[in-house]
Structure 1
Amino acid sequence: MRWAALSEAGNVVAMLAGHRAERADNTIRNFPALMRDAEPWRRELADNGCADLAAVMEPGIAALLAINARGSDCKPAAQALWREFTAARSAMLALVPPSGGMGPKRSA
């Protein structure tokens, strides 16, 4: 659920930065399922990364919305937060095990 909330927050930041909302690819969409069967160290890094990103996004979006509500241009700040978001998301996606790129494991 946290991953989905972060993706939605990213879409809000993208919009405020003047970008179109991204269509999530399979790896982004399936990230939680791909990490479920990953080694414990990968899962721990992904959990910590999600928590860290949430800690940045929540006050960041609040600040952007406050700037926007005052009628000021929040686009430069939104672009900076967007860059931080995409860099952090890329780092977390790099944690997906090499064999995990094809989708979640299925068992019979």
Structure 2
Amino acid sequence: MKWTAVHEAAAAVAELAGLAPEYRTPEIRNFPAIMRDTGGWRCRLAAQGVDDLAAILEPGLAALLTLQGSGACAAAAAQALWQEFHTARAGLLSLIPPLGIERQA
């Protein structure tokens, strides 16, 4: 659920940045299930990473909306936040194990 909420917030950031809606690959859509099935340290690290993404996006999006509400252009700041999200998410996706890695305790 948090993964979905993070992506909804990121979609709002992308819109403020003037970016086209992002296509979510199966790897992105299925990330929580993949991590749950993988288990072990990868799953724990992924959960912490998703929490960290939420902690970055929540106040960032609030600041962007405040900026936009004041009449200022939020596009550059939104672009910077989008790039931070995108980089952090790529790091999380790198936790997906190669094929053949078995579930860990």
Report the counterpart of residue 65 of structure 1 in structure 2: 65
Residue 80 of structure 2: aligned partner: 80
* 2:51 match: 51
Which string of whole-angstrom CA distances, capped at 9 and with x for unpartnered residues, describes residues 24-72 of structure 1? Answer: 0000000011111214100111011001111000000000000000110
Separation in 1, partners of 2:43, 2:73: 38
1:17 counterpart residue number: 17
Instruction: Tell me the residue number matched to 2:33.
Output: 33
Q: Secondary structure at the match of 1:99?
A: coil
Q: Indicate the RMSD between aligned Cα atoms, in angstroms.
A: 1.1
How far apart, in 2, do the equivalents of 1:76 and 1:9 lie?
17
Measured in 1, the distance between the counterparts of 2:14 and 2:99 equals 30
Task: Find the aligned partners of 1:37 and 1:29 in 2 and give their Cα distance.
Answer: 14
When normalised by structure 2's length, the TM-score is: 0.92
Q: How many angstroms apart in 2 are the aligned matches of 1:85 and 1:40?
A: 24
Structure 1: which 5+ runs fail to align?
A: 101-108
Aligned-pair identity in percent equals 52
Q: State the partner residue of 1:105.
A: none
Q: Which moved more, 1:37-46 or 1:56-65?
A: 37-46
Return the alpha-carbon distance in structure 2 between the equivalents of residues 93 and 21 of structure 1.
Answer: 19
Give the aligned partner of residue 2 of structure 2: 2
Question: Is residue 2:64 matched to residue 1:90?
Answer: no
CA distance in 1, matches of 2:99, 2:31: 13
Where structure 2 has 5 or more consecutive residues not aligned to the other structure, the ranges are 101-105
